[in-house]
Amino acid sequence: MYKVLLVDDERIILDGISRMVDWSAYQTELAGTAQNGIQAYEKIVSDSPDIVVCDIRMPGLDGLELVAKTYASHPHIKFVLLSGFGEFEYANRAMQYGVKHYLLKPTDESKIGEALQEVTFDLADHRRKEAFIQDMKHRFEKVLPHVKEQVLKEFVTNKTYGHHDLEEYRRLFQYDFDRPVQLLLFQLEGEADYEHLFAVKNIAEDLLDTTLLSTTIGPHVLVLIEERPGLRLHDRIQDIRCTFKQYYKLDVTVAISDPGPVTLARKLYRDTLQCLNYRFYLDESGIITTNDTLQSEDDSGAFSFDEQRLCMPVRSGHHQEARQALNEFIHELKRAQLSIEMTKSHAISQYVSLIRLTDPEEMAERYERIPVIAEMTTLQSIQAFLEETVIEITQRNYERNTMKYNAIVRRMIEIIEEQLGNSELTLNLVACSMLYMNADYLGKLFKKETGEKFSNYVMKLRIKRATELMAKDPDIKIFEMAEQLGFGDNPQYFSQVFKKQMGCTPSEYMKKEG
């Protein structure tokens, strides 16, 4: 059971929640209560609860101050904050201390219960991961040199082993060395130590039921497996990569050799090392085979990409178009398969064109980061670097080019953009199912900030998107636009709304614009 501390300066609320919630139903127990932040922190120090359900407005030490103070001394404790409508932004500041849950007052048992369930799930998941890592540390501390690891190292690195040695190993492992095998070579991306290599090795052994031998060689983990048709090897390797990343937050690149007898282990090992040299152009799958390195020069082409194709949406603050243009830029680099130096040159050129869109001071600061691109070892890392730059500059331009809406209204507009094709999109849907706020309050706030009723704003945006779709594709069908823009299977209603907004039907509009 997880211990809960309940904090509220209003005694009636404190008693009400204490009695209202069936704490044991959520794997919790109410370990204590407090009527202000000072009392609460004293109980946190003495009792170390797992969860604190706390009001924001309190005398002495308010909720946010209590969160900050607790985070500094007891960072493992989770908070659920209770707030009123006027404290939305205030509560939001608690996010920097890892607070994910806050409830609008007045609340009820079901809402508190949902928050408790999510918090206890996070706590259980954290304990499971900690237990896993501690188990790995324990196994690592006890591990001793293993003869099979040494044998594998000799197979792939020792030029002098001969027939007599092979026969000895055959008797030792009772395995037909003439049967086909494959080598898997794992390389960790980022800063890693031997503990991480050890974890990869053990995870691979657990998830690959065809493992024969495994070892570490320098910065790599080498696994010898039995080649078996229908094994779905790529899926197994992806499971290894995902499991490792879940616990250690590091990516792993994996090179796979062709099948062959163990007697050719040295050649298979050299092949996997050569595969790792191909990592620069590796996609997100993280897996390289020898087939990936055999692309002929005839398959590549000259690089062609207008730098302004990316700069224009960044300048205008259009996030989606900017991301699409960046993806096209990276795709063209992958397709061209130029030398690594030439690829980096194009990336630097595009980066320079982007930072020219910033203020002089920022431009000078970003110029100093150009050498970072030159030192990167994969195209994927270059893409992440450019994406960060694109997002930051685009967002700054977006903020300059758009109205400074209230934070809630900005979120409502984002939801409208995301859900524009949803025929069920209404103010009540947004209020009750997405923002968990009062619909009347949201409607008034939206009208105050935008000058439009929610429904009118949605309809006008849909018609605006319709004109953009027609400009992009003059042959688009009316029923297709109706489906894409939230009118469902009712193109007639879409045409009526369009005519009311634009003064003509969609067909007439397309003829006029054409």
Q: What is the pLDDT of residues 424-453, one digit of tens each?
A: 899 999 888 888 888 898 898 888 777 789
Question: What's the confidence (pLDDT) of residue 387?
Answer: 94
Q: Which amino acid is at 319?
A: H
Best mean pLDDT range from 309-313, 316-320, 396-400: 309-313
Which pair of structure tokens corresponds to residue 450? 């935008």
Question: What's the confidence (pLDDT) of residue 294?
Answer: 56
Residue 170's pLDDT band, with cuts at 50, 70 and 90, is: low
DSSP conformational letter for 27 = T
Mean pLDDT of all residues belonging to the chain: 84
Query: What is the length of the chain?
Result: 514
Rounded CA separation 109/88 (Å): 21
Q: What proportion of the chain, given as a percentage, has pLDDT over 70?
A: 88
Q: Sign (positive/negative) of CA torsion 145, 152, 243, 229?
A: negative
Q: Which of helix, strand or coil describes residue 210? A: coil
pLDDT digits (tens, 9 = 90+) for 17-61: 999 999 999 999 998 999 999 999 999 999 999 999 998 888 888
User: Residue 180 pLDDT more than 60?
Assistant: yes
Longest dimension (CA), the chain: 91
514 and 474 Cβ atoms separated by less than 8 Å: yes
- H or E element that contains 215: strand 211-217
For residues 481 and 97, which has the higher predicted lDDT (pLDDT)? 481
CB-based contacts of 42, cutoff 8 Å, min separation 6: 34
Question: Which CA distances in Å does 172 have to 149, 155, 169?
Answer: 13, 14, 5
Question: Of the ranges 78-92, 347-361, 421-435, which one carries the lowest mean pLDDT score?
Answer: 78-92
pLDDT digits (tens, 9 = 90+) for 130-152: 889 888 877 756 654 466 677 77
Question: What's the confidence (pLDDT) of residue 86?
Answer: 60
Rounded CA separation 150/195 (Å): 18
pLDDT digits (tens, 9 = 90+) for 364-396: 889 999 999 988 878 888 999 999 999 999 988
Question: Which CA distances in Å does 151 have to 113, 200, 220, 224, 508?
Answer: 56, 19, 16, 11, 78
E strands in 404-453: none
201 and 139 Cβ atoms separated by less than 8 Å: no
Rounded CA separation 230/225 (Å): 14
Instruction: Measure CA of the first residue to CA of the last residue in the chain; give whole Å.
Output: 68
Q: What is the pTM of this model?
A: 0.43
User: Residue 155 pLDDT more than 80?
Assistant: no
User: Residue 242 pLDDT more than 90?
Assistant: yes
pLDDT digits (tens, 9 = 90+) for 316-340: 778 888 999 999 998 888 877 777 8
Closest CA to 211 of 200, 195, 197: 200
Q: What are phi and psi of 502, to 5 degrees?
A: -105, -10
**Cβ atoms < 10 Å from Cβ of 342:** 12
Rounded CA separation 100/382 (Å): 32
Question: What's the confidence (pLDDT) of residue 145?
Answer: 46
Best mean pLDDT range from 77-86, 174-183, 428-437: 428-437
pLDDT digits (tens, 9 = 90+) for 87-105: 666 656 777 777 888 888 7
